[in-house]
């Protein structure tokens, strides 16, 4: 089960529940995959609703890897994600928000 207070988000892929988390290592890997774009640019796209399916996939892969998954983006090309594309987009946005949310009381 995902712990939202630890920045975790749950996602069901091919009927199997996974926990995603944007650890520092996962964020570094995500940033490296942005090909000249910045993490701030990605956050801005999500905030404005102008994100792409590539943004969603990159965030899902980074979150899965931060949660211990050792797969690659290509492993998800034919995967069934619960909730479809909208479910994946919601999970990616939630993951991004939780990664940069200030702890309560700060």
Would you place residue 21 in the very low, low, confident or very high pLDDT band (cuts 50, 70, 90)? very high
CB 10, CB 18: distance < 8 Å? yes
CA distance 15 to 65: 18
Domain boundaries, the chain: 4-99
Instruction: Kindly provide the b/e burial profile for residues 2-21, where b requires at least 16 CB atoms within 10 angstroms of the residue's own CB.
Output: beeeebbbbbebeeeebbbb
pTM of the model: 0.89
Sign of CA dihedral 63, 69, 71, 75: negative
Question: pLDDT over 70 for what percent of the chain?
Answer: 95
Query: pLDDT tens digit string along 24-63?
Result: 999 999 999 888 788 888 889 999 999 999 999 999 999 9
């Amino acid at each position: 089960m995902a712990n939202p207070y630890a920045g975790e988000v749950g996602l069901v892929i091919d009927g199997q529940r996974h926990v995603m988390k944007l650890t520092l290592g996962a964020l570094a890997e995500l940033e490296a995959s942005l090909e000249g774009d910045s993490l701030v640019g990605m956050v801005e796209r999500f905030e404005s609703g102008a994100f792409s399916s590539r943004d969603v996939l990159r965030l899902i892969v980074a979150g899965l890897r931060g949660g211990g998954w050792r797969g690659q983006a290509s492993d998800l090309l034919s995967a069934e994600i619960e909730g479809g594309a909208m479910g994946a987009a919601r999970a990616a946005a939630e993951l991004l928000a939780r990664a940069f949310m200030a702890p309560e009381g700060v």
